[in-house]
Amino acid sequence: MSVTKIDSEVVEINNSVSTIFNYLSDFNNFEKLMPSQVTNWSSTTDECVFTINGMATIGMKIIEKTPSTKISIISNGKVPFEFKLFIYLTEKDATSCTGQLAFESDLNPMLKMMVVKPLGNFFNMLAQKMKDIK
């Protein structure tokens, strides 16, 4: 199997990179970013579990925080497949930055066909919601 990579679009965020980094470093804030098809949300600062209606229950854990540039997340607990998710932030100036999500997983070809499009849409939606963080 080859590594499947899904990158969200790069979004321009009108907020300081430190504000966005601090917000995204706490999974308790992520519930506000999730779409309506995400239910049964449960979180601590570094771990979360949720259900995507009609798909699966997903657990995630933050394993590394590189101040103001990168948050590294791995799958955690019972998940349909193991994955890594990275949030990349790039400072533009004191009041703006860019953000992008990058997903990596070893998916078999059948699973890949089923999940690439919905996951791509999901990560683009999350990236767009980063613009709304206050």
Q: What is the pLDDT of residues 98-110, one digit of tens each?
A: 999 999 999 999 9
Q: Cα angle at 118 between 114 and 121, to 5 degrees? A: 155
Mean pLDDT of 102-124: 93
Exposure class string for 94-124: b at 16+ Cβ within 10 A, else e: eeebbbbbebebebeeeebeebeeebeebbb
| CA–CA separation, 108 and 2 (whole Å) | 8
- On whether the CB atoms of residues 49 and 42 are closer than 8 A, the answer is yes
The whole-model pTM stands at 0.94
SS3 call for 118: helix
Residue spans per domain, the chain: 3-130
CATH of 3-130, one of 1.10.760.10, 3.30.530.20, 3.90.320.10, 2.60.40.420: 3.30.530.20
Give me the sign of the Cα torsion angle 47, 23, 37, 99: negative
How does pLDDT run across 36-92, given as a tens digit for each residue?
889 999 999 999 999 988 778 999 999 999 999 999 999 999 888 999 999 999 999
What single-letter DSSP state applies at residue 45?
Answer: S
